Structure 1
Amino acid sequence: MLTVPVVVVALTALLADRLPPSPAAAALAWSAAGAALASLLNLVAFTVKAAAEIPFVAGRFGWSYQVVIADTGHVRWVPWLCAILLVSAAVAVRTVVKRHRGGRSQALRLTASATGDQVILVPSEKIDAFAVPGRPGHVVVTTAMRQILTDEQYEALLAHERAHLEQDHFRLMLLSDLAGAVHPALLWVSRRVGYLVERAADEHAAAALGDRRVLARAIGTAALAADGRPSLTAGPFVSFAKTRRPGAIPRRVAALLRGQDHRRRLWPAAIPAALAVSSLVWTGEALYDLVELLVTAHG
């Protein structure tokens, strides 16, 4: 229940750089979400068992609390620890949802006056640019950002942000952030997915432009100019000029200048996915065992 996410993190560390960025981001985000869901369901199951150990609750449902207690009598503290962890996870999940909703609402206010153009130029001295998902999605660019980039670099920026919209990277970031909220070990996966979606957008934009160096120079120019300055909006939207991971900007630039590695294979993505699926299967068995226990306690 609690160890599978740790194994997913270990596999992520080993496999993330062996996959192309786009499938790596999807595989890690969904694997982390699956492992987190399994962990959450296990916490719910043990919390229900803890509640069933309370005489008043057991009496309301016709259960024998002595039978329920006897099932884990040698480790009576486990169900109650799980109840505490479930509350903690619920608070963390609520915080993530609130942050994503708040950031989205703040960004949508910037696009409220859009007249059909996908790109919205916002008057601001802050050096910022990001994509806002929706129907249709938009790309927000500040006037300060536009001024520091050449026309070629500006087109590279737009191609990068449009890639975020086309590949639905915001869903992957939300999944990984929720997984990190459920299980602290998965916070590392969340940060890794944030980096990989940026790399995926870089590769997509570089392919569209046909010039990797222009995009690399655009990223470097924007990052240097925005260093130490606040972003235009908070929340889940990653600025073109900033990143969640320290040192990620130099790594992105280096990867673009180095060129795409076509030797990478997709099959390693199946390993964390299989582990996440197996954890859900084990969780199903645990839930079945809980139902059997409660039926026995009722009997």
Structure 2
Amino acid sequence: MFDHFLMSVVVVPPVLVVLVRLLADRLSPQVAAPVMAWSAAGAAVASLVNLVVFALKAVAEIPAVGSLFGWSSRIVVDDTARFPWVSWLSVVLLAAASASMTVTWRRQRRLLALAGAGSGLGAVVMVPDTAAHAFAVPGKPGHVVVTTGMREALSDEQFAALLAHEQAHLDARHHRLILVSELAAASHPALWWVTRHVDYLVERAADERAATTVGSRRTVAQAIGAAALAATARPSLNAGLHAASPGGVVPRRVASLLKPRGWAAAPILAVAPLGLAIFSLAWTVEAAWDLGELIVAALP
């Protein structure tokens, strides 16, 4: 069974990172964002299920458990005798991943609850605050929160572009992709870079949608720059989905809008990361099957 642990827990997540590095910026962001997020989710689920399988194997290795259920714990141990540490290491890794995912989930729900305090007040909620913030709050319906400080920092055209950007986040349900990718990274540290790139891709996708909505790529680029400069003074706590996020990605976003280029990779190449995740999931199903066969073989 060790080959299942090696493939799904050790090999597939970093290989997925390599694929994302090769393909993410060569696909349109509207395609790349969901592909990369769900590929990371598939790889994370495969890794977690493998850890569960090996954690169960660790329990089955305990002599008292074998005596209770009537199987030979020695046969279970011998299956991975060359790597005796793998079962109990999986227990530790599973506990760590579960704790990390729980913290991530609670943090996201808390942020959404705080940000959604103004829900029901309209599609755009203007908050009196000199700090420049703007972000989309998902819901039924979702809404956009903008501070008066952000509104004052932008021209009418730039403000319209910012609203179009945030509405694009709501329409595409980007908050789901962010949550999925962050949970994936919480479950496996190798997927952290994928999550960071998904963050960037959803912003790029919203930029492209906003440019189509307002009919000017330059106006959207100017709005991004002005909003980022205004927000730099006091970074927002709601940094998941807002146009004014400061940092090194802003120049890349502006450059992509001002100097658009054709996407170098055909959309069909998006099946590569998805295929890798599906392969890992299928390999994980076989791991669970192998554990069942092992337990059966250990019975008298």
Q: Is the 8 A contact 1:132 1:237 kept in 2?
A: no
Once the two structures are superposed, residues 139-178 of structure 1 have per-residue CA deviations (whole angstroms, 9 ceiling, x without a partner) of 0001110111111111000100000010011111111111
1:16 correspondence with 2:21:
no
For 1:286 and 1:119, the matched residues in 2 are separated by 50
Once the two structures are superposed, residues 95-134 of structure 1 have per-residue CA deviations (whole angstroms, 9 ceiling, x without a partner) of 110111111111112x14x33x211101111110000001
Question: How well do the aligned residues superpose, as a CA RMSD in angstroms?
Answer: 1.3
Once the two structures are superposed, residues 236-283 of structure 1 have per-residue CA deviations (whole angstroms, 9 ceiling, x without a partner) of 63332115xx41000001111112526652111111111111111111
| Farther off after superposition, 257-266 or 3-12 | 257-266
Q: Give the TM-score, by structure 1 length.
A: 0.94
Change (3 A) 1:103 1:66: same
1:183 correspondence with 2:188:
yes
For 1:215 and 1:16, the matched residues in 2 are separated by 22
For 2:112 and 2:71, the matched residues in 1 are separated by 46
Alignment of 1:1-299 (within 5 A): 1=8, 2-109=10-117, 111-112=118-119, 114-115=120-121, 117-231=122-236, 233-234=237-238, 237-242=240-245, 246-261=247-262, 264-299=265-300
Return the letter of the residue paired with 1:76: P
For 1:57 and 1:121, the matched residues in 2 are separated by 61
What SS does the corresponding residue of 2:82 show, helix, strand or coil?
helix
For 1:262 and 1:7, the matched residues in 2 are separated by 22
Unpaired stretches in structure 1, ≥5 consecutive residues: none
Change (3 A) 1:262 1:13: closer
Return the letter of the residue paired with 1:196: L
Return the letter of the residue paired with 1:174: L
Q: Is the 8 A contact 1:159 1:205 kept in 2?
A: yes
For 1:126 and 1:57, the matched residues in 2 are separated by 60
Q: Is the 8 A contact 2:166 2:242 kept in 1?
A: no
Once the two structures are superposed, residues 165-208 of structure 1 have per-residue CA deviations (whole angstroms, 9 ceiling, x without a partner) of 10011111111111111111100000000000000000000011
- The CA deviation at 1:62 is 2.4
For 1:71 and 1:262, the matched residues in 2 are separated by 48
For 1:63 and 1:149, the matched residues in 2 are separated by 71
Percent identity over the alignment is 52
Unpaired stretches in structure 2, ≥5 consecutive residues: 1-7
For 1:26 and 1:56, the matched residues in 2 are separated by 47
Once the two structures are superposed, residues 26-61 of structure 1 have per-residue CA deviations (whole angstroms, 9 ceiling, x without a partner) of 110011110111111111101000111112222333
Q: Give the TM-score, by structure 2 length.
A: 0.94
For 1:17 and 1:218, the matched residues in 2 are separated by 22
Q: Is the 8 A contact 1:128 1:141 kept in 2?
A: yes
Q: Is the 8 A contact 2:225 2:254 kept in 1?
A: yes
Aligned length: 292
Residue in 1 that maps onto 2:3: none
Q: Is the 8 A contact 1:122 1:141 kept in 2?
A: yes
